[in-house]
């Protein structure tokens, strides 16, 4: 099987990232467990940590992976969705010939070989989805590469997520807020119930500060499973030293180790919280005899990268990509922009999926924009611009509509005139992925 044949086979499965036309309660772990069993249960052959939440979980995973890599562990990273190429979802660390610790994505040949191995078994199971098959592929790849530890980002929920077949050493929770309401529930409590489904009887649990409804759920589930839980801000303390357009510096005090003047290159105050959650996970792994040096922590924090989240892709004028896609992330984005930028003109390029709370996002994300450019990604889930415009009728600003992100970026550039102007692309990670592709054809003037 060649790579294109493998891609065609994977794409033959239902992909819930491209549709909202399904019933969440009908989802189950039975299919993915059945496929894993046919492949000799690869998910039981490595240790893992799981991160769930509404926003910040991907960045947290990236920090954890980077630190473990710098510590010399053979580690795998599984995240979703991807920005440009779905191979981005599966990454491993390795030691090169110069004894340097590197990272790489799964390659085309590896995808082809694994799909060929999985196909005979997958064909026997009715109803498998793209995400389920690809999750199994990731686990099988991790075993083939002999990883010691996997860092797993859960998908939409947690309880019924395909990654939730593992027995995690540590379960961590980034911010839990309102998103995927039609699927997960219309209250923070209901959403938290789905997220906390990843908590295992013998795991350790750590969470950032949460909405009171989410905290009650986390505490109740931990008590039910007799699991010890920790809080970032109480059991693990961090202090912000400084922030600018090159990242942040902060101190961290854990239950075993403390670190001063840690630098992260990911921009925005919310990334400090994600980094603190990651360091809390690193501290808890010590209870499983996974010990990491201060130097590895420092290098791992500094070298962590996670595109598409408050990513400054150009300066003079500023062009910033951020996948904010719900009210909470839009609020965090606005706070970061207000802290770090003083633009002469602010231009927002905005496009979201059909199931997103546009009216909850826009008061935050468009509050100080001089121009709003509406567009959509090529994903079938994308909301059309006319519907998007109707949901924004109460905003007395200049709104223009475009058909593609390329057209939107060109229009935004035409409306800049100063080195301090800011173009912000936000609303959907699918849109952000297409924006990265469009960059190669974008002519940005310098003022």
Query: Which string of DSSP letters, residue by residue, matches 363-424?
Result: HHHTTT-SEEEE---SSTTBPPHHHHHHTTTT--SEEEE-SSHHHHHHHHHHT--STT-EEE
Give yes or no for a contact between 92 and 77, defined as CB atoms under 8 angstroms apart. yes
In the numeric block, the tokens 């920090």 are attached to 63
* Whether residue 183 sits in one domain with residue 149: yes
Q: Is residue 276 part of a domain?
A: yes
Q: Does residue 422 share a domain with residue 288?
A: no
Count of domains for the chain: 2
Residues 208 and 333 in one domain: no
Quick: pLDDT tens for 228-285: 999 999 999 999 999 999 999 999 999 889 999 999 999 999 999 999 999 999 999 9
- Both 329 and 400 in one domain: the answer is yes
Sheet architecture: strand order including 258-264: 237-244, 247-253, 258-264
Contacts 24+ apart (CB under 8 A), 90-98: 90/137, 90/138, 90/141, 91/65, 92/141, 92/142, 92/145, 92/147, 93/65, 93/68, 93/69
Q: Which of 156, 177, 153 is nearest to 364 (CA)?
A: 177
Asked if residue 240 belongs to a domain, the reply is yes
Distance CA 384, CA 350 (A): 11
Reported as half-sphere exposure (CB side, CA atoms, 13 A), residue 298 has a value of 8
Q: Which of 242, 275, 303 is the last residue of a domain?
A: 303
Same domain, 299 and 317: no
- Which of 283, 303, 323 is the last residue before a domain boundary? 303
Structural domain contains residue 447: no
Contact 60, 282 (CB under 8 A): no
Look-up: residue for tokens 């998007």? Answer: 388
Q: Is residue 347 part of a domain?
A: yes
Answer yes or no: is pLDDT of 22 > 60: no
* Last residue in a domain, options 263, 285, 303: 303
Domain match, 289 and 390 both: no
Whole-number percent of the chain with pLDDT over 90: 75
- The CATH number that applies at residue 237 is 3.40.1190.10
**Residue 118 belongs to some domain of the structure:** yes
- pLDDT given at position 317: 95
Q: What is the share, in percent, of the chain residues with pLDDT greater than 70?
A: 95
In a domain, 187, yes or no: yes
Tell me which of 15-19, 20-24, 187-191, 382-386 is least confident: 20-24
Residues 290 and 323 in one domain: no
Look up the CATH number of the domain holding residue 398. Answer: 3.90.190.20
- Alpha-carbon span 255 to 247, nearest angstrom: 25
Phi, psi at residue 251, to the nearest 5°? -105, 155
Question: Could you list the residue range(s) of the whole structural domain that residue 353 is in?
Answer: 311-441
Does the residue 23 lie in any domain?
Answer: yes
Question: What are 405-425's pLDDT values in tens digits?
Answer: 999 999 999 999 999 999 999
In 357-386, which positions are buried (b, 16+ CB within 10 angstroms) versus exposed (e)? bbeebbebbbeebebbbbbbbebebbbebe
Identify whether residues 271 and 370 lie together within a single domain. Answer: no
175 with 264, same domain? yes
- Is residue 446 a part of any domain in this protein? no
Residues 223 and 256 in one domain: yes
On whether both 335 and 357 belong to a single domain, the answer is yes
**Dihedral sign, Cα of residue 415, residue 354, residue 440, residue 344:** positive
Residue 372 and residue 392 in contact, taking contact as beta carbons nearer than 8 Å: yes
pLDDT value, residue 181 = 60
- Residues 132 and 80 both lie in one domain: yes
pLDDT for 99: 72
Residues 6+ apart with CB under 8 A from 144: 110, 114
97 burial level (CB within 10 Å; 0-12, 13-18, 19+): exposed
**Token pair belonging to 294:** 């201060």
């Amino acid at each position: 099987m060649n790579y294109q044949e493998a891609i065609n086979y994977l794409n033959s499965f239902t992909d819930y990232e491209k549709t909202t036309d399904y019933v969440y309660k009908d989802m189950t772990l039975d299919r993915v467990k059945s496929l894993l069993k046919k492949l000799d249960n690869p998910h039981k052959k490595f240790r893992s940590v799981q991160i769930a939440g509404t926003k910040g979980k991907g960045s947290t995973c990236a920090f954890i992976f980077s630190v473990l890599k710098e510590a010399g562990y053979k580690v795998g990273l599984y995240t979703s969705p991807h920005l440009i190429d779905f191979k981005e979802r599966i990454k491993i660390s390795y030691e090169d010939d110069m004894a340097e610790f590197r990272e790489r994505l799964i390659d085309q040949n590896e995808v082809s070989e694994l799909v060929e191995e999985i196909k005979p078994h997958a064909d026997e199971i009715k109803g498998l989805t793209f995400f389920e098959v690809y999750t199994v592929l990731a686990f099988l790849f991790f075993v083939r590469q002999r990883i010691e530890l996997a860092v797993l980002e859960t998908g939409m929920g947690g309880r019924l997520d395909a990654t939730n077949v593992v027995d995690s050493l540590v379960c961590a929770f980034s911010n839990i807020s309102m998103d995927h309401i039609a699927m997960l529930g219309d209250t923070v409590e209901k959403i938290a119930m789905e997220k906390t489904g990843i908590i295992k009887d013998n795991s350790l649990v750590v969470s950032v500060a949460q909405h009171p409804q989410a905290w009650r759920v986390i505490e109740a589930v931990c008590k039910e499973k007799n699991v010890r839980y920790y809080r970032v801000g109480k059991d693990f303390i961090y202090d912000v030293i400084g922030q600018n357009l090159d990242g942040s510096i902060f101190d961290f005090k854990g239950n075993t180790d403390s670190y001063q003047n840690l630098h992260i290159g990911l921009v925005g105050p919310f990334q400090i919280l994600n980094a603190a959650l990651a360091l809390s996970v690193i501290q808890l792994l010590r209870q499983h005899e996974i010990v990491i040096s201060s130097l590895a922590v420092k290098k791992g924090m500094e070298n962590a990268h996670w595109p598409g989240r408050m990513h400054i892709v150009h300066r003079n004028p500023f062009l910033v990509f951020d996948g904010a896609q719900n009210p909470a992330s839009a609020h965090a984005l606005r706070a970061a922009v207000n802290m770090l930028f003083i633009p002469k003109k602010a231009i927002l390029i905005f496009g979201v999926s059909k199931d997103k709370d546009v009216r909850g996002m826009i008061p935050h994300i468009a509050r100080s924009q001089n121009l709003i450019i509406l567009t959509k990604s090529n994903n079938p889930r994308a909301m059309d611009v006319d519907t998007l415009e109707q949901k924004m009728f109460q905003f007395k600003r200049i709104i223009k509509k475009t058909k593609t992100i390329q057209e939107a970026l060109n229009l935004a550039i035409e409306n800049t005139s100063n080195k301090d102007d800011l173009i912000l692309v936000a609303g959907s990670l699918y849109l952000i992925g297409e924006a990265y592709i469009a960059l190669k054809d974008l002519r940005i003037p310098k003022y």
